[in-house]
């Protein structure tokens, strides 16, 4: 009998069970809550953290935008779950690298995402107390630095994040159009369509803000209520969308006329 087969055949069943299960840890349920009812299961499989996150998805926009924004939210929620899981006392800020999204998509009434992060890619950042998740990683590489921030799961912050995510998506799409502007005579029309679509999305958010009972209508001493401040933010964002769209078309027109090229407006 070959030695390799002999070794396997003479290992007791309980030992085989230990070998198989020792590389896996029990899943720990993290209830993050908030308006999107975020839940995550964190476990260790081999040498990596596996984070399975589920939440109520956005469905107010077109299918492509809903998917992009839900992926962004899933990535943030997954990193928040890991940060909370590893924060034994107080706030722990983590540096995360090597992360990847294994799968994502709608599951019933939820949006689900599974993230794998090598344990060696997670380290504690000392001497920092910030709680926001920074960097702008790609959808498939949710890396960066993160600390658990409970405010992310409050209604006002959820809307603020959605408005920011819409802004990021608008800029990405506008920059893609800019790269192809020298090939497309229809560039101004495409920019105007992008602008109109973005304004419609922001109007959708405004309607949700106006009817959301979780938002406060009480003005502070030197600041507006949660609802008013969000509506002001949306108005400001709509103005920025119009300005950036107009500037992009003006640059395109100048280049078509052979006028000296001016710096692109696409820098936030």
* Confidence category of residue 88, pLDDT binned at 50, 70, 90: low
Question: Per the domain annotation, does 266 fall within a domain?
Answer: no
Question: Per the domain annotation, does 205 fall within a domain?
Answer: yes
> What are the structure tokens assigned to 192, written together?
């105007």
Question: Per the domain annotation, does 38 fall within a domain?
Answer: yes
What local confidence, expressed as pLDDT, does residue 182 receive?
65
What local confidence, expressed as pLDDT, does residue 94 receive?
85
* Confidence category of residue 219, pLDDT binned at 50, 70, 90: confident
Could you tell me if 168 and 142 lie in one domain? Answer: no
List the beta bridge partners of residue 146: 94
Whether 121 and 171 have beta carbons less than 8 Å apart is answered as no
Residue 213 scores a pLDDT above 80 = yes
Could you tell me if 173 and 113 lie in one domain? Answer: no
Of 119, 149, 179, the residue that ends a domain is 149
Question: Per the domain annotation, does 4 fall within a domain?
Answer: no
Q: End-to-end CA distance of the chain: give it in Å, rounded.
A: 68
Question: Per the domain annotation, does 56 fall within a domain?
Answer: yes
- Give me the number of domains the chain comprises: 2
pLDDT tens-digit map of 90-133: 567 888 999 999 999 999 999 999 999 999 999 877 654 444 44
- Give Dmax over CA atoms of the chain in angstroms: 83
Residue 196 scores a pLDDT above 80 = yes
Of 104, 123, 149, the residue that ends a domain is 149
Of 114, 149, 184, the residue that ends a domain is 149
Q: Give the rounded percent of residues in the chain with a pLDDT score beyond 70.
A: 76
Could you tell me if 93 and 201 lie in one domain? Answer: no
Could you tell me if 143 and 192 lie in one domain? Answer: no
pLDDT tens-digit map of 166-182: 999 999 999 999 888 66
Whether 159 and 228 have beta carbons less than 8 Å apart is answered as no
Phi, psi of 34 (to 5 degrees): 80, 180
* Confidence category of residue 62, pLDDT binned at 50, 70, 90: very high
Could you tell me if 144 and 59 lie in one domain? Answer: yes
What local confidence, expressed as pLDDT, does residue 261 receive?
56
Domain span at residue 96 reads 26-149
Could you tell me if 133 and 102 lie in one domain? Answer: yes
What local confidence, expressed as pLDDT, does residue 242 receive?
97
CA distance 232 to 235: 5
Place of tokens 């998506």: 169
Residue 134 scores a pLDDT above 50 = no
């Amino acid at each position: 009998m070959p030695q390799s087969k002999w070794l396997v055949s003479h290992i007791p069943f309980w030992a085989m069970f230990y070998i198989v299960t020792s590389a896996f840890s029990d899943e720990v349920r993290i209830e993050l809550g908030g308006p999107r009812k975020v839940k995550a299961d964190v476990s260790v499989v081999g040498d990596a953290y596996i984070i399975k996150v589920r939440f109520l998805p956005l469905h107010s926009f077109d299918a492509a935008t809903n998917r992009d924004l839900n992926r962004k939210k899933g990535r943030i929620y997954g990193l928040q779950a890991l940060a909370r899981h590893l924060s034994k006392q107080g706030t722990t800020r983590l540096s995360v690298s090597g992360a990847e999204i294994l799968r994502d998509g709608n599951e019933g009434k939820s949006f689900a995402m599974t993230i794998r992060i090598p344990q060696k890619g997670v380290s504690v950042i000392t001497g920092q107390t910030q709680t926001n998740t920074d960097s702008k990683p790609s959808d498939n590489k949710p890396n960066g630095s993160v600390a658990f921030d409970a405010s992310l799961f409050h209604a006002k912050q959820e809307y603020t994040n959605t408005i920011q995510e819409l802004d990021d998506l608008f800029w990405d799409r506008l920059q893609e159009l800019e790269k192809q502007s020298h090939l497309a005579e229809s560039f101004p029309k495409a920019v105007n369509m992008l602008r109109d679509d973005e304004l419609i999305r922001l109007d959708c958010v405004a309607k949700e803000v106006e009817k959301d009972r979780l938002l406060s209508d009480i003005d502070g001493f030197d600041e507006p209520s949660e609802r008013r401040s969000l509506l002001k933010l949306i108005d400001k964002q709509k103005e920025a969308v119009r300005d950036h769209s107009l500037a992009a078309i003006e640059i395109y027109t100048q280049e078509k006329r052979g006028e000296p090229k001016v710096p692109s407006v696409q820098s936030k």
